[in-house]
Structure 1
Amino acid sequence: MEKVDQAFIQYPQHRPNLTIIQPEHIPIIDLSPITNHTVSHPSPIEGLVKEIGNACKEWGFFQVINHGVSLTLRQNIEKASKLFFAQSLEEKRKVSRDESSPMGYYDTEHTKNIRDWKEVFDFLAKDPTFVPLTSDEHDNRLTQWTNPSPQYPPHFRDIIKEYVEEMEKLSFKLMELIALSLGLEAKRFEEFFIKDQTSFLRLNYYPPCPYPHLALGVGRHKDSGPLTILAQDEVGGLEVRPKADQDWIRVKPIPNAYIINLGDMIQVWSNDAYESVEHRVVVNSEKARFSIPFFLFPAHDTVVKPLEELINEQNPSKFRPYKWGKFLVHRLDSNFKKQNAENVQTYHYKIRE
């Protein structure tokens, strides 16, 4: 076995147990009732809304089938992703990201201060995307992030842009279903995205790892936005832990399905009715793994706080408000360098009882 790079090694309590995990199905939800209908007409979707609500409450994760996204489109982006990552490191680094321009290629990302065993390529849903220049609460200056223009594979940007449009459509349908499951108006979350958004698509490549019992493709974490839509290949590797005291559960891949997980922002908006769930990615010693997550993020000037409709005397607000753009820029810092302390997390805004 080759020498172990200490930058990738997880602390003993967080290392994967590769001997006892059996892949399992998280809830599988058929979206055909809304594939050709709008969410605004409630009669055909009452059962679907109930399923979504149960999955959100019990798991924080679910898979969707009959989602309306073209299989050809998904195959096109999967093929393009593999072609991009198959290039030499020199070629990939021509579109590298950095602290001032955080879209593009990167291979030294950290989660919880441990380096992930992966390479990524990030691409904004809206180009340009406006964000705060700094995380300083008193600094009102904005900057803009833009997408890189890789020369290979051919039509790479066009393929990604077409796929992103479909991810946005699916995201907004899911957000409407989640709103209805909370007893809200279907379009309740629309105001946070209609003017602008900071969403982005990520292409992940996890090379075969010689020490899968020590390293992780992505360390344990919770997503900070409202919603993530994940396409994973047949290799699998995603593990979730619905409750803090439970064992990790390997998510079994389903062909052409999408894995949906709630992020911290839904937990805040719902005032803890739904919970963001911890997850991670294990690596494989023999096979490479590819995945494509779409991270739905609101506009930078969004103030994140529990929705007024879900607060009352019996259920007071459980989170202090925070500004999404400042939070996002602060979080970004930890991707580029090891921190002396844990980076800002949503639970730092939790009101302690």
Structure 2
Amino acid sequence: MSVNIDEAPIFAPSLPVPNVQEMVKINPSQVPKRYVRNQEEMEKVHYTPHLSSEIPVIDLTLLSNGNMEELRKLEIACREWGFFQIVNHGVDKEILQNMKDAADEFFKLPIEEKEKYAMLSNDVHGYGHAYVVSEEQTLDWTDTLFLLIYPTRFRKLQFWPKTPHGFKEIVDTYSSEVKRVGDELLSSLSVIMGLEKHVLAGLHKEVLQGLRVNYYPPCDTPEQVLGLSPHSDSSTITLLMQDDDVPGLEIRHKGNWVPVTPISDALVVNVGDVIEIWSNGRYKSVEHRAMTNKNKRRTSHATFVFPRDDVEVEPFDHMIDAQNPKMYQKVLYGDYLRQSMKRKMEGKTHTDVAKIKA
């Protein structure tokens, strides 16, 4: 693909589908057939909530100060879990709450108002649904607002809500703070990967950052639907703010589903596909999904940190040896990202394009 690094990227088309929030308003007890999952997908036999307390919790202040114990914890978190929660990250509680309140206010708006920011047919900026690639696809029980935040020259402000008042400033403040946290994490990830602190940030050429706010309406039969299908993220890392009081995020760990119990004011971080490729599979981008709730809506705020389209991604030489032969070929990130976005979310199948065939 030809890459123009001065133009805002177009990511991928997504087919228009009904607004879930409106469907629930009109008929709360009905779940249309297109949303119903087969029993195998919803099977809870491998549900292991007792492992939730084992998901690592990392203190960002200690980590950023080079604390060896915290760096060790980060290494184990990335190697064994692919997920961790961070505390003491320095983002003010008020900033977190303002972002939550602003998103809630947006999703409370009448549908006519929200649709002023509707995604176009060829891209995912704005309000709507991503990853809908066929008419037969089983749909997720969620509505989404996606905004590209950084670099600021790539912002498509026509998709940024003007209501509630101050929305843009609130998103700016929140995203600026999350960017700082992301930068600190990239430095620490560089260190545990045996690199100089600045290397991972430098390899991006320019860090891109997107915000996806997912709104999961209540569902009368939550055992029939998924808020978000199982998938791994095609980012470098993802930083997520979830509601303190409504669980829903689950991660795949050793074949089982483990709920990520919210910790007040913590951010959830997960390894993306880019780190998996750079580390030659030492650190895995882990499958995760979102469940729905019978009585409560849930909102999550996912910030994706990823490279520019023209960045080539492949395993570092020092991650390859006789015991760990090279698992991934060199990929142009823009190609990799679009190939993943043009498919429905289906576990880690999209990573096959980067894998060296046996």
Counterpart selection for 2:182 from 171, 180, 205: 171
Counterpart selection for 1:290 from 299, 304, 316: 299
Are 1:59 and 2:65 an aligned pair?
Answer: no
Counterpart selection for 1:346 from 339, 342, 351: 351
Counterpart selection for 1:11 from 38, 54, 79: 38
- Name whichever of 249-258 and 121-130 sits farther off: 121-130
Match of 2:221 in 1: 211
Q: TM-score, normalised by structure 1?
A: 0.84
Kept in 2, the 8 Å contact 1:128–1:145? The answer is: no
What is the DSSP-based 3-state SS (H/G/I as helix, E as strand, rest coil) of the residue aligned with 1:125?
A: strand
Match of 1:105 in 2: 127
Deviation at 1:119, TM superposition (A): 1.0
Q: Which amino acid aligns with 2:60?
A: L
Kept in 1, the 8 Å contact 2:343–2:350? The answer is: no
Deviation at 1:107, TM superposition (A): 4.3
Gaps of 5+ in 1: 131-143
Match of 2:327 in 1: 318
Q: Which amino acid aligns with 1:262?
A: V
Change over 3 Å in CA distance of 1:129–1:271 after alignment to 2: farther
Deviation at 1:226, TM superposition (A): 1.3
Q: TM-score, normalised by structure 2?
A: 0.83
Match of 1:29 in 2: 58
Deviation at 1:12, TM superposition (A): 2.2
Count residues with an aligned counterpart. 326
Match of 2:209 in 1: 199
Match of 2:147 in 1: 123
In 2, Cα distance between equivalents of 1:15 and 1:33:
39
What is the DSSP-based 3-state SS (H/G/I as helix, E as strand, rest coil) of the residue aligned with 2:199?
A: coil
Gaps of 5+ in 2: 1-27
In 2, Cα distance between equivalents of 1:20 and 1:352:
32
Deviation at 1:101, TM superposition (A): 4.2
Match of 1:239 in 2: 250
Render the CA deviation track for 1:84-137: whole Å, top value 9, x for unaligned.
00011111111011243421111475499421111111111225666xxxxxxx
Match of 2:314 in 1: 305
Counterpart selection for 1:229 from 230, 239, 258: 239
Kept in 2, the 8 Å contact 1:17–1:213? The answer is: no
Q: Which amino acid aligns with 1:89?
A: I
Deviation at 1:349, TM superposition (A): 2.0
In 2, Cα distance between equivalents of 1:186 and 1:347:
30
In 2, Cα distance between equivalents of 1:9 and 1:330:
26
Q: Which amino acid aligns with 1:114?
A: T
Match of 1:89 in 2: 111
What is the DSSP-based 3-state SS (H/G/I as helix, E as strand, rest coil) of the residue aligned with 1:290?
A: strand
In 2, Cα distance between equivalents of 1:11 and 1:129:
43
Deviation at 1:158, TM superposition (A): 1.3
When the two chains are superposed, the root-mean-square deviation of aligned CA atoms in Å is 2.7
Q: Which amino acid aligns with 2:352?
A: Y
Change over 3 Å in CA distance of 1:307–1:180 after alignment to 2: same
Change over 3 Å in CA distance of 1:101–1:158 after alignment to 2: farther
